[in-house]
Amino acid sequence: MRVALITTDNREPFKKYELDAPWLSPPIAALLEGFQSAEISTEIQVHVLSCTKRPMRSPEKLAPNVHFHSLHVPQLGWMRTGYQGCIRAVRKKLKVIRPDIVHGQGTERDCAISAVFSGFPSVITIHGHHAELARRFRARFGSFLWCAARLEEFTLPRTQGIICISDYVKGLVEHYRIPTWIVPNAIQKMFFDFPRTTPPAGARPLLVNVGVISERKRQPELLAVLTSLREEGLKFDTLFVGLSSPKLPYAVEFNRRLEQANRKHGGFEHIPRLDDPDFCRLFDRAAAMIHFSAEESFGLTFAEAIARGLYLFASDVGAIRDIAKGMDRVQILDLNDWEGLKRAVRQWLVSGGDRLPRPASAPAAFMQRFHPVPVAQRHLEIYREVLQQKS
């Protein structure tokens, strides 16, 4: 089977045009790991297509059965024209590739609309439901989130199938009356296989929070809870990991509060990003993750932490309950129950929860849901189902 997978090369949105290799998001990289596995590679040939505003050097292949195509689309062909340039560039390349099916990864940029107008059978994966996000955060007219929501509403009714990463997402798209399947995002093999280490003896427990500094992730509110616990005399360190824009007042306010907390207590730190091996090392060193988002459908960081055996505190939103199903080392609290979160973290610290032994590996059921190979196998089944229905 020949599959065209349309996705975003993060060299484009982050303006890293000088890099020589594609920068794919973790769930896409994990899915490609599954397609490259010995169990699947002989059954599928994958062509990854990604549009960019500048020409970039790129390898022709990412693996023996995975080809990569970087498509240059000038500025005029992007959102301001409804991604007409991207649609045309993808159609032109697909006439040469002649795929059996086209898979659009995400609805916020050009991927979904290029897939549905490709001229070939298509499926779309929804990573985050932008219509719901726009409603919840009251996206202003003409903003990126507002435009992404409109684009999503236009493209989803025009595809042959929607792949949802959770029951939560499936419930948001059922009104389109399009065939849907629930397939969680895969976690890269590294989070299952990377050699595990134990935290240094006697070290203060480390709490981590991972996510872009934004109103959706609510880092300043979380920081207020943690500084309050430090004022009670509890001893722990905190590390926030996530990109932060100096242009966003919310991020600026978070940085101000973080500096204030550090001057008073010490032990609070923020870094913009880590590579995957460093994330594995961080999760092994940390005692717990706190993930208290206002809205969540992706949940990948949450799942990666479970794969490494972290204790987790989370708000009850989006796909969190799906991901944490069957897990013992998780506490899920109401969306705005900050006092409940404070009590839970306090009790966990006082009782010595950070010193309890950690599982040596992820549970078998969790691996079956999130390991790249079974996730890729499920995608292959969906592609065949769509093509059978189409014929």
33-56: per-residue pLDDT in tens?
Answer: 999 999 899 999 999 999 999 999
Q: Kindly give, in sequence order, each residue whose CB lies less than 8 Å from that of residue 21, ignoring residues fewer than 6 positions away.
A: 58, 59
Phi, psi for residue 295 in degrees, rounded to 5: -150, 135
Q: Within this chain, do residues 283 and 239 fall inside the same structural domain, yes or no?
A: yes
CA distance 191 to 242: 19
Q: Within this chain, do residues 237 and 304 fall inside the same structural domain, yes or no?
A: yes
Q: Within this chain, do residues 174 and 244 fall inside the same structural domain, yes or no?
A: no
Beta-bridge partner residues of 206:
237
Average pLDDT over residues 356-382: 91
Q: Within this chain, do residues 141 and 282 fall inside the same structural domain, yes or no?
A: no
- Would you say residue 375 has pLDDT above 80? yes
Residue with tokens 């208290």: 292
DSSP 3-state assignment of 311?
A: strand
Average pLDDT of the residues of the chain: 91
Q: Within this chain, do residues 163 and 243 fall inside the same structural domain, yes or no?
A: no
Quick one: pLDDT at residue 297? 53
Tell me how far CA of residue 261 lies from CA of 92, 211, 219, 223, 228, in angstroms: 54, 19, 13, 8, 10
Neighbours of 361 (CB within 10 A): 13
Q: Within this chain, do residues 104 and 199 fall inside the same structural domain, yes or no?
A: no
CA distance 125 to 28: 11
Question: Given pLDDT bands bounded at 50, 70 and 90, which one contains residue 298?
Answer: low
* Residue range 310-319, pLDDT digits in tens: 999 999 987 7
Question: Given pLDDT bands bounded at 50, 70 and 90, which one contains residue 269?
Answer: very high
Quick one: pLDDT at residue 357? 85
CATH classification of the domain holding 245: 3.40.50.2000
- Measured torsion, CA atoms of residues 26, 28, 30, 35, in degrees rounded to the nearest 10: -170
Q: Within this chain, do residues 63 and 142 fall inside the same structural domain, yes or no?
A: yes
Domain of residue 154: give its range. Answer: 2-186+371-390
- Measured torsion, CA atoms of residues 31, 114, 81, 155, in degrees rounded to the nearest 10: -90
Q: Within this chain, do residues 218 and 171 fall inside the same structural domain, yes or no?
A: no
Total domain count for the chain? 2
Sign of CA dihedral 178, 383, 4, 307: positive
Which of 137, 139, 100, 143 shows the shortest CA–CA distance to 118?
Answer: 100
Q: Which of 270-274, 302-306, 359-363 has the lowest mean pLDDT?
A: 359-363
Question: Given pLDDT bands bounded at 50, 70 and 90, which one contains residue 390?
Answer: confident
371 vs 147: which has the higher pLDDT:
371
Burial class for 141, CB neighbours closer than 10 Å (0-12, 13-18, 19+): exposed
Quick one: pLDDT at residue 354? 85
Quick one: pLDDT at residue 248? 87
Q: Within this chain, do residues 325 and 383 fall inside the same structural domain, yes or no?
A: no
Contact 66, 35 (CB under 8 A): yes
CA distance 238 to 255: 14
Contact 99, 80 (CB under 8 A): no
CA distance 179 to 162: 6
Q: Within this chain, do residues 215 and 309 fall inside the same structural domain, yes or no?
A: yes
Q: Within this chain, do residues 131 and 14 fall inside the same structural domain, yes or no?
A: yes
Contact 320, 332 (CB under 8 A): yes
Find the largest Cα–Cα distance for the chain: 67
Which of 61, 60, 85 shows the shortest CA–CA distance to 73?
Answer: 85
Burial class for 160, CB neighbours closer than 10 Å (0-12, 13-18, 19+): buried
* Tokens representing residue 139 in the block: 């996206």
- Residue 191's Cα: distance from chain center in Å? 14
Pairing of strands 101-105, 122-126: parallel
* Residue range 75-134, pLDDT digits in tens: 999 988 989 999 999 999 999 999 999 999 988 889 999 999 999 999 999 877 767 776
Question: Given pLDDT bands bounded at 50, 70 and 90, which one contains residue 391?
Answer: low
DSSP 3-state assignment of 238?
A: strand
Q: Within this chain, do residues 217 and 148 fall inside the same structural domain, yes or no?
A: no
CA distance 332 to 38: 38
